[in-house]
Structure 1
Amino acid sequence: MGTTFNEQFDQHAAWRREFALRLKLLSEWLRDHDLLDAAVEERLRRLESQVRSDKVMVAFVAEFSRGKSELINAIFFAGYKRRIMPASAGRTTMCPTELGYDADVPPCLRLLPIETRLQPQALMEWRNAPEKWTRVDLDVKDPAQLAQAFEKVSEVRMVSQDEARALGFWHDEAPEDNPLVDDEGRVEVPRWRHALINIAHPLLKQGLVILDTPGLNAIGAEPELTVNLIPQAHAVVFILAADTGVTKSDLAIWREHLDTGDLGPASRLVVLNKIDTLWDALSTPAQVQAQIARQRAGTADILGLALEQVLPVSAQKGLVAKVNHDDALLGQSRLPELERALADGVMGQRQKILRAAVGAGIHELRTEAGRAIAIRRRDLAEQMLELKGLRGKNLSVIRHMRARIEQEQGDFDVSGARIHAVRSVHLKLLREVLNMLGLPTLRAEVGELNKALRQPGIKLGVKKAYAQTFDRLRANLQKAQAMSADIHSMLTGTFRQLNAEYGFSLQAPREPDLGRYARDLDLVERSHLQYLGVSNVLKLAQPEFADRLVRALATRLRVVFESAMGEVELWNKSAAAQLDAQLRERRRNFARRMEAIQRIQEAASGLDDRIAEIVQQENALGELDAKLRALTQHLVDTPAPASAPVPEAA
């Protein structure tokens, strides 16, 4: 039996905690040994942030009445011994609902009124305006109060057709998709646009985020959900009903919002829920299993998936089995099979990606910190040669040596202006790169797209407008990459010259790889183009809808370009930190050499004593380097379960 999703998530969280502890010890050790320059500190901060804030989002997507909320209850909330998410007959999630944990926010349910759709702000902007949300405090120790509060996500309002049209729930061009009209000519719409649930559930505290989405009509009305949140989820669980199979509306959700190819096979799972409706007392168990197998194979064929990506489950029986500790019923529900698939697919893939990223970061950290040790070693070697050359020499030779050191120090002080000039040119070129990746440039590109979409009429050329926008954004990244290569060439030549003239050991850091951000752009473009099919042409003709779509795009693009800027800024810090470190160590080296000459002049035994000290210092540096390698390797080797002892960072 493999581990369940919950168990594997616990192991992942234990690894993150263990890693954070070891990283803190490394940081303290680096500070104690004066190895913590700006670049090393920035890499430590990034590694810590990357691991501590790592989130795993699982999106549950389904048309109404497929048992989605019940499945969430069965997998994540069975420990409460009751339903937490509204899943009874007639009660269903009407607005997108995110469940997560933020230690800085008290346990609460926050609800964004549906009327905010009439205003221009993107959903991300509303998140930063807590006063606009309706807040309900939660008592996490009271399951009944939690369940009662969560029922708010199923609340609806009755509005006129005109208001429903403005909110995006009524389309004159597609009457078959419109909600039912009551006797007074009103229609039902969700009361809330988005819900955020913040509770200290063990899995949520460890970084899990659950996204519970409403049905097709609500999904289609919220572009930010379909082009931002769902594509960025690490796994999507698409729920169908086993008794009906793939319906027309199920297929519409799949084709328009989920079948993008951005997620790997292990991260897209289809659940054939409610298999208990096929448990027929007049059929033999073998006949029931054969019927489930036929539905499973038919579903996989229609959706173009491998058979193992379609999992038959009874969420309702699984929840009952967990609450009553009924192992036989739990086995029949086949819920453990889904949990294992989530564990192996989502968590297995997520851990692999995070460990690879962390491993690369640790390698860079070791290189940055090891550079200072190498500089000190080289300076000690030079001092050793210098002092050994004084053996048997008279006082006038020693005085001459002192004069030579003073001359070298004077020449070095003059080099400050040269190094300042190098930095000025470097920063000027760097500013040009950052301007290409900055928010004003991005805002201008998005503005051009918005202008194109606001042209009157049906947007048959909308894909072309999107393609042109993304081509220009990719071109900006390519220009930034080319300019980074030019800066790298300039730094390499300048550093080589400084090394020759002043005996430095400067090495231009590797230029940032902006290609991965171009690949991120490809993913964003695909998720949007998927949304620009024929079925959405009429929606795109509405200026309000087009505006919402572009704002959702801008939110996601900002994340990509801010990450690219961060990469360039870290590269700059690495180059600057090298110069700072070499200047600092060189000044210390002059001070140590002058001190040694002074001691030799004052006492005959000073020379041998100083040589012995340098030998000790060289040995200490060797131990320092070995310790750095051991501590960084220990970070790479951090086991998933927090079982291995942490070495002392002495």
Structure 2
Amino acid sequence: MGLRVKVLGDWLREQDLLDDGAEERLLSLSERLQTDKVMVAFVAEFSRGKSELINAVFFAAYGRRIMPASAGRTTMCPTELGYDPALPPCLRLLPIETRLESKALLEWRLVPEQWTRVDLDVDNPDQLAGAMEKVSEVRYVSQDEARALGFWHDEQPEDNPPVNAQGLVEVPRWRHALINMAHPLLKQGLVVLDTPGLNAIGAEPELTVSLIPQAQAVVFVLGADTGVTRSDMSIWREHLATLQSSSATRFVVLNKIDTLWDELSTPAQIRAQVERQRQETARTLDLPVEQVLALSAQKGLLAKVRGDGMLLSESHLPDFERLLGAQVLGARQAMLISAIDNVVGQLNEQAARTMSVRRRELTEQLSELKGLRGKNQTVIRQMRLRVEREKAEFDGSAASVLTVRSAHMKLLREVFKLLGSASIKQSLAELSVMLREPGLKLGVKKAYATGFDNLRGVLGQIQSLETEIHNMLTASFRQLNTEHGFSLQATPPPDTQRFLDDLAAVERSHLQYLGVGNMVQLARKEFSEKLLRALVSRVRSIFETALGELELWNKSLSSQLDSQLRERRKAFGRRIEAIRRIQDAAGGLDGRIDEINALDAHWQQVQARLDALTRELTAHSALAEQGAAQPEPAEA
């Protein structure tokens, strides 16, 4: 699809049918096709087989385990698995000490020199597995340092990590890991977030209030041998249960069903037992049973390594892989197809308008020139003077556009100011003061509500300013269309509802976090600072996205006006040049008439080609949407 969009863009550029706004939309779409990702967060308590499931889906082709999957605590830091073609295969690790600094995790991504990079040899399974062991590395620190890093809590001793004989506390060596590999599913835009257990999740508030809520799907892994334990329920209630009101899709994987394979039971009895486990798990978590999958990641991995089709079927791992393809990647593909259709439709409309203006001007010029047949030089000179007067009048009236633009830019500056960092800081001022106060923060929920009400108010002001800009340009465009025969259209501004929904999701994740026993942690200055930084970083990201869409909308409107003003000036120039040539050379009239007829035929062909290209793209989009449920298969 990306190549077809590029072909259309290149062709429009060759025909001089791509104005600055259309060019910007095309670049934005191309970037989205390359960078748009869909994140699936894998969440589980320790020893539920989460890392084994990732091995079975993504690394079975290596014939061995790649991600550490031994019993106990293996994934000690959150790990993202994805693909960026601009980078070589590598593992990047953010030191745990960065928790002591003021930057949010999102900001650390923009400081690549602070990450430790390990290049990966994707053709060497042993080197690959050895490199991946780093995600489970630990270090031993004093209790004071562990406390500062967020891993030691005097008020919750039962949740503290192990202490060695020297009295030192075991903490992860790394805060976050990024793995870049060209696996087929990852190349299609899938990003896997592998999270550690409950205690480690709680130590990194950005996981709970930012990364997990932003994931398009969450896979909660349980053990069929243990069922839903108390710590499993804690993770579910504290971090996942509220996602039902967001856009995330939640799935539960009941792993290790091979522990139920009893040689003294019949296959029917085993299937019945697995089904009872699914039903019970669904009831416990208040989920539709269709969202609970029972499988054996270990047997699925073994079956792939051995090439055992029967064992692979019995493991039910393919059911999970189809889910990733159909419901997760399929949803991404459908969104991208919708974006392509929208941009292609806009490009088609813009190009068709430009061609319509050009052909109308050719028709007018043809009529004008035919009226000169048999006329003497005096009549021809008078016509040239008349066209020059019309051009001067047009230039004078077009100058009034500057007045409209001045008012337009003044309103836009207000919008841009509202979406800036100072506006966010002002909206969250009361909450910032509250979170930085020492001790228990009993009024913090009220401060959160005030802060988010302020942010919603900002978006409301932006919506009003957008409407004012749109109404002003609609009136101006209507006048220009009437006076000059333009075909300007004031497209509607971006809808702020999506950004309001994003703010609501952020608010929910923070309020949920405050309501699950973290009030004691919140009393600690360094913890509340992390929470505040995570909030500001997320809100800034939402506002920057809104700003980008507004800039694109504004450029589209301005470019449309610039394009038609430029076309009209070119048309005047062509008319004057044609009359000059007729004045200077006998027979020039018929020659120019023939040229105009040829140009009109050319634009008819261009219009036909444009229609054909857009039909091909639309047809390809429809086929792609039909096949969205069956994307490129994963490696076996």
Given the two structures, how large is their TM-score scaled by the length of structure 1?
0.91
Cα displacement string for residues 552-606 of structure 1 (whole angstroms, at most 9, x for unaligned residues): 1222222211111111111211121122212211121112211232344355644
Q: How does 1:259-338 map to 2 (within 5 A)?
A: 259-261=241-243, 267-338=249-320
- The residue type paired with residue 114 of structure 2 is K
Whether 1:405 and 2:383 are equivalent positions in the alignment is: no
Q: Paired residue for 1:539?
A: 521
Question: Which structure 2 residues correspond to residues 546-565 of structure 1 after superposition, within 5 A?
Answer: 546-565=528-547
- 2:486 is paired with a residue whose SS is coil
Q: Distance in 1 between matches of 2:240 and 2:461?
A: 33
Aligned residues of 2:47 and 2:73 also touching (Cα < 8 A): no
Mapped contact 2:459–2:496 kept (Cα < 8 A): yes
* Match status 1:65 vs 2:47: yes
Q: For 1:288 and 1:491, locate their aligned partners in 2 and report how far apart those are by CA, in whole Å.
A: 69
Q: Contact between 1:318 and 1:335, CA under 8 Å: does it hold in 2? A: yes
Give distance in 2, aligned partners of 1:519 and 1:343: 26
**Structure 2 CA distance for aligned equivalents of residues 145 and 100 of structure 1:** 19
Partner of 1:3: none
1:218-255 Cα offsets, whole Å, 9 max, x none, are 00111111222112222211100001111111111111
Deviation at 1:416, TM superposition (A): 4.7
CA deviations on 1:402-443 (whole Å, 9 max, x unpaired) are 111011112223235322222222111111111111233123
Aligned counterpart for 1:614 among listed residues 591, 596, 606? 596
Provide, for residues 446-487 of structure 1, a one-character-per-residue CA deviation record: whole Å limited to 9, x for no partner: 444222212233223222222211111111111111111111
* Letter of the structure 1 residue corresponding to residue 161 of structure 2: P
Counterpart of 1:625 (choices 564, 582, 607) is 607
Q: Distance in 2 between matches of 1:284 and 1:372?
A: 73
Q: Residue 266 of structure 1 contacts residue 309 of structure 1 at CA under 8 Å; is this kept in 2?
A: no
Contact 1:300 1:310 in 2 (8 A): yes
Give the match's secondary structure for 2:199. helix
The percent of aligned pairs where both chains have the same amino acid is 63
- Aligned AA (2:572): F
2:5 alignment partner, one of 17, 23, 44: 23
Unaligned runs of 5+ in 1: 1-18, 645-650
Any conservation in 1 of the 2:225–2:259 contact (CA below 8 Å)?
yes
Code of the aligned partner of 1:277 = T
Matched, 1:257 2:239: yes
Tell me whether 1:159 sits opposite 2:141 in the alignment. Answer: yes
1:39 aligns to what?
Answer: 21
Deviation at 1:20, TM superposition (A): 1.6
- Tell me the number of residue pairs that the alignment of Structure 1 and Structure 2 aligns: 626
Q: Partners of 1:554 and 1:638 in 2: how far apart?
A: 41
Question: Which amino acid is the alignment partner of residue 312 of structure 1?
Answer: A
Code of the residue aligned with 1:462 in structure 2: it is: V
Counterparts of 1:388 and 1:267, CA distance in 2: 67
1:418 matched to 2:400: yes
Task: Verify: 1:455 aligned to 2:425, yes or no.
Answer: no
Letter in 2 for 1:107: P
1:358 corresponds to which residue? 340
- 2:361 aligned residue (352, 368, 379): 379
Does residue 522 (structure 1) correspond to residue 500 (structure 2)? The answer is no
C-alpha distance in structure 2 between counterparts of 1:511 and 1:636, whole Å: 25
| 1:11 match | none
Does the 8 A contact of 1:266 with 1:346 survive in 2?
A: no
Question: Kindly tell me: are residues 580 and 240 of structure 1, through their superposed partners in 2, closer, same or farther at Cα, counting changes over 3 Å?
Answer: same
Distance in 1 of aligned mates of 2:614 and 2:541: 29
How far apart in 2 are the matches of 1:511 and 1:425?
Answer: 17
Residue of structure 2 in register with 1:141 after alignment: 123
Shift of residue 393, structure 1, vs aligned partner:
4.2
In structure 2, C-alpha distance between the alignment counterparts of 1:559 and 1:228, rounded to whole Å: 11
Which is further off, 385-394 or 287-296?
A: 385-394
1:94 aligns to what?
A: 76
Aligned counterparts of 1:600 and 1:590: Cα–Cα separation in 2:
16
1:263, 1:336 → 2: CA distance?
29
Corresponding letter in the other structure for 2:291: Q
Other-structure match for 1:592: 574
CA contact (8 A) 2:138 2:171 kept: yes
What is the letter of the counterpart of residue 603 of structure 2?
Answer: L
Preserved contact between residue 189 and residue 329 of structure 2 (Cα < 8 Å): no
Q: Deviations over 1:620-639 (max 9, x none)?
A: 22222232232233223325
When residues 464 and 265 of structure 1 are mapped into structure 2, their CA distance, relative to the original with a 3 A threshold, is: closer
C-alpha change, 1:91 and 1:143, in structure 2 (3 Å) is farther
Most deviating of 323-332 and 440-449: 440-449
8 Å contact from structure 1 (residues 231, 262) kept in 2: no
Q: Distance in 1 between matches of 2:509 and 2:180?
A: 28
- C-alpha displacement at 1:91, in angstroms? 5.7
**Residue 533 of structure 2 corresponds to residue 568 of structure 1:** no
Q: What are structure 2's unaligned runs of at least 5 residues?
A: 628-636
Deviation at 1:511? 2.1
| 2:463 aligned partner | 481
Contact 2:494 2:553 in 1 (8 A): yes
Indicate yes or no: 2:60 matched with 1:78.
yes
CA distance in 1: counterparts of 2:6 and 2:442, whole angstroms: 55
Give the Cα separation in 2 of the matches to 1:314 and 1:224: 31
Distance 1:136 1:503 in 2: 62
